[in-house]
Amino acid sequence: MKLITKTSYYYIGFSIIGFIIGGIIFYHIIFSIINSRANDDLKTEKELIEEQIIHSDSIPDFTPYFGHQIVVTFFDHHVIPTYALNDTIMTDTVSNEEIPYRYLISANNKKHKSYSIEIFKPLINTNQLFEDIFFVMFIMFLFLLLSLILINYLISRKTWSTFYNTLKKIKEYDINNGEGLILNQSNISEFMQLNEVLVQMSNKIFHNYINLKEFTENASHEIQTPLAIIKSKLELLIQSLPLNNEQMTIVQSMYEAVTRLSKLNANLVLLSKIENSQFHDTANVNLNQIIESVLANLEDIIAQKELKVSKNIPANPVLIQMNPTLAEVLIINLISNAVKHNIKNGSIDITLNDKMLSISNSGLHMETDPKSMFDRFKKGKTTSESLGLGLSIVQKIVNLYKISISYVYESETHTLTLMFLK
Amino acid sequence: MKILIVEDEKELASSITSYLSQEKYICECVNNFAFASEKIDLYNYDCLIVDIILPDGNGLDIIKNLKKTKADTGIIIISARNSLSDKITGLDIGADDYLTKPFHLSELNSRLKSIIRRRSFAGNNEINFEKIKILPDFNQVFVDNTELVLTKKEYDLIMYLIINKNRVVTKESIAEHLWGDNIDMVDSYDFLYNHIKNLRKKIIDAGGDNYIETVYKMGYRLSNNN
């Protein structure tokens, strides 16, 4: 939810509560004003009538309006003075509607005259009043709310512009561009602080990243050179025949271990390079071509394992935007994996189209949990001499691009599917 | 054949020298940028084996200087850095090949021979070993003048063995040479065994001897001892 939406919701919510409370108070005030006005009117009328009765025996001629009734009765005898101001409901004979009335009854003896005055005054329908008030309030509410939202929008657009600018810069920031974050100045101190902290943090991250990158390169360099020495010395040792079988076995173990170690080192360096996104050059890579060349390279191994390779590859090249080296490493790992974990006389199916690449191979059920197959140093068989880095390299590569990977084992077939999300 | 090795690791330089000297190459070693530049100015070499990272300079600069004056010298970069950009830069400025450390000496030898061959006898090559004759420009292999019908991998294999003849060539180095070092093929040694078996059979069938000797556990050697 956007900040502006959120604050608008709060504005709307609190305004509604405020307007409801305000409306109720307003209603009561208006209502009591109207009531007291009606009472005052009745009293004034009564006094006018009384005045005239006393002075002239005649009943004043009030222009009656709808529902307004005045009844004056004279008595021969003395009356007990009464005075009452009350509400009642009378049924209108024409429309059969019940109409609330306020009436005043007064009986008195003044100047030898005994009389009673009854004045009935219809009250304004309370419901009608409520509706009118509500309607006016609603219009006001709506108008105020719209102006609130508009003002809120304008203010936040202006005040938050620095923030959105910062956000945009962070989103677009690529550590590989070789610089820390550069942000606009702001005169709002909170945003200024935020920008300062972000710039400091990004500079720190940038320097750590550079250190890490250098470490990766240095580590690989520093390890590869001693390995190269060991390897070359062993190779020379082998040439200095005659070695007996026992010596040869020892040298062979050492040579194998060194080779393994150097491959491991190379793969770990590759993994950390991928993680550090050091392969940021991309090109339109022709997957058909890579698949064909990898298959050609493994042709003899496939033939010797008597594997049946079926390809479902379109004639038009499938182009995908990624780093060419990584694309090759990806395909090599996937296909060699399918060859390696295959059974004799097994099969490999490769399906490629614009949306996906799926490579499936026949094979035995895995001993390990499929969920951990992308973890480092996880091997199908614990006894295997494989490095166990192939699939984690695959995963690291697909994570770099908009590619998803899934694994299924069904009817003795392992299937790895890459979906190209565009 | 004179070869200049520019490598700051003395031990590695001495291994290379000792391996290549058996090929009747004259090897000279220098361990820094200054000496290397001096040597290049004074003498002519057929091939230069150069490390990129030197204590007092960049190996790429040596290559640039060399290309200006003596453009026909073959150049192999050996570097611990396996980065594509380094590789591309190196090849762009005129290096012939790029090997990542740690490499097999037999592989270095094979790359070196291939460069020298390309440079010295353009189109007129012939490699002989006993009854075997290889015409690398035509990818043809003959035994007693009978042409062998070989697969691409078998051809690469016999070529690799002949170039490193009379030496023990390790299984690991052959596997990497044939299938590339990106392939983590644990069982590729079995496939290698099959290739060797087929190759032996083809050579013997064509009238040759069993030149490919199995060295216990280690690998193979092409020799005429048997």
Out of A227, A248, A329, closest to residue B218 by CB: A248
- B44 and B142 housed in the same domain: no
> Is B198 in CB contact (< 8 Å) with chain A?
no
pLDDT tens digits, A114-147: 888 888 887 766 667 767 877 887 898 889 888 8
Cβ <8 Å between B12 and A269: no
- B86 and B153 housed in the same domain: no
φ, ψ of residue A377 in degrees (nearest 5):
60, 25
Mean pLDDT, chain A, integer: 83
Out of B12, B22, B100, closest to residue A229 by CB: B12
Least confident window among A232-236, A312-316, B64-68, B222-226? B222-226
- B13 and B67 housed in the same domain: yes
Given B120, B148, B182, the domain boundary residue is B120
ipTM score above 0.95? no
Preferred mutation among A214, A235, A248, A295 to probe B, highest tally of B CBs within 10 A: A235
What pLDDT was estimated at residue A379?
A: 65
Preferred mutation among A225, A279, A281 to probe B, highest tally of B CBs within 10 A: A225
What pLDDT was estimated at residue A175?
A: 76
- B135 and B90 housed in the same domain: no
The stretch A344-355 carries a mean pLDDT of 91
Cβ <8 Å between B16 and A232: yes
φ, ψ of residue A127 in degrees (nearest 5):
-65, -45
What pLDDT was estimated at residue A127?
A: 66
Q: Which of residues 171-200 of A touch B (CB under 8 A)?
A: none
Asked whether the beta carbons of A99 and A67 are under 8 A apart, the reply is yes
What pLDDT was estimated at residue B183?
A: 64
Q: Label residue B16 by pLDDT band (50, 70, 90).
A: very high
- B155 and B85 housed in the same domain: no
Q: Label residue B13 by pLDDT band (50, 70, 90).
A: very high
- B68 and B24 housed in the same domain: yes
Q: Say which residues have a Cβ less than 8 Å from residue B94's Cβ, sequence separation at least 6.
A: B63, B64, B66, B67, B71, B75
Q: What is the chain A residue with the closest CA to B221?
A: A239
- B100 and B148 housed in the same domain: no
CATH of the domain at B54: 3.40.50.2300
For residues B57 and B176, what is the distance between their CA atoms, to the nearest angstrom?
A: 31
CATH of the domain at B217: 1.10.10.10
Q: Label residue B6 by pLDDT band (50, 70, 90).
A: very high
Given B94, B120, B146, the domain boundary residue is B120
pLDDT tens digits, B154-169: 999 999 999 888 888 9
What pLDDT was estimated at residue B4?
A: 93
What pLDDT was estimated at residue A187?
A: 84
pLDDT tens digits, A44-70: 888 888 888 877 766 666 666 666 778
Q: Say yes or no to pLDDT of B226 above 70.
A: no
For residues A311 and A338, what is the distance between their CA atoms, to the nearest angstrom?
A: 13
φ, ψ of residue A161 in degrees (nearest 5):
-60, -40
φ, ψ of residue A69 in degrees (nearest 5):
-125, 140
- B136 and B212 housed in the same domain: yes
Cα dihedral A80→A82→A88→A91 (10° resolution): 40
Given B67, B100, B120, the domain boundary residue is B120
Cβ <8 Å between B167 and A251: no
Name which of A225, A222, A239 is nearest B10 in CA terms.
Answer: A225
- B32 and B91 housed in the same domain: yes
For residues A166 and A161, what is the distance between their CA atoms, to the nearest angstrom?
A: 9
What pLDDT was estimated at residue A292?
A: 92
Q: Label residue B196 by pLDDT band (50, 70, 90).
A: very high
Residues of B in contact with A214 (CB under 8 A): none
| DSSP-assigned states of every residue in A230-259 | HHHHHHHHHHS----HHHHHHHHHHHHHHH
Cis ω on the peptide bond leading into residue A226 (within 30° of 0)? no
- B106 and B142 housed in the same domain: no
Residues of B in contact with A239 (CB under 8 A): 19, 22, 167-168
Say how many residues make up chain A.
422
Higher-confidence residue of B121 and A265: namely: A265
> Is A148 in CB contact (< 8 Å) with chain B?
no
Both structure tokens of A274: 């991928």
Q: Say yes or no to pLDDT of B175 above 80.
A: yes
Q: Tokens 């490579």 map to which residue?
A: A359
What pLDDT was estimated at residue A302?
A: 87
Mean pLDDT, chain B, integer: 86
What pLDDT was estimated at residue A112?
A: 77
pLDDT tens digits, A26-37: 888 887 888 888
- B90 and B36 housed in the same domain: yes
- B151 and B211 housed in the same domain: yes
Taking the CA atoms of chain B, what radius of gyration do you get in angstroms? 18
Measured between alpha carbons, how far is residue A171 from residues A45, A156, A181, A204, B163 in Å? 79, 21, 11, 18, 56
Q: Is A181 left (phi over 0), alpha (psi -120 to 50) or beta?
A: beta
Name which of A346, A267, A263 is nearest A310 in CA terms.
Answer: A346
Range of the domain at B205: 127-222
**Structural domains in chain B (count):** 2
Asked whether the beta carbons of A291 and A313 are under 8 A apart, the reply is yes
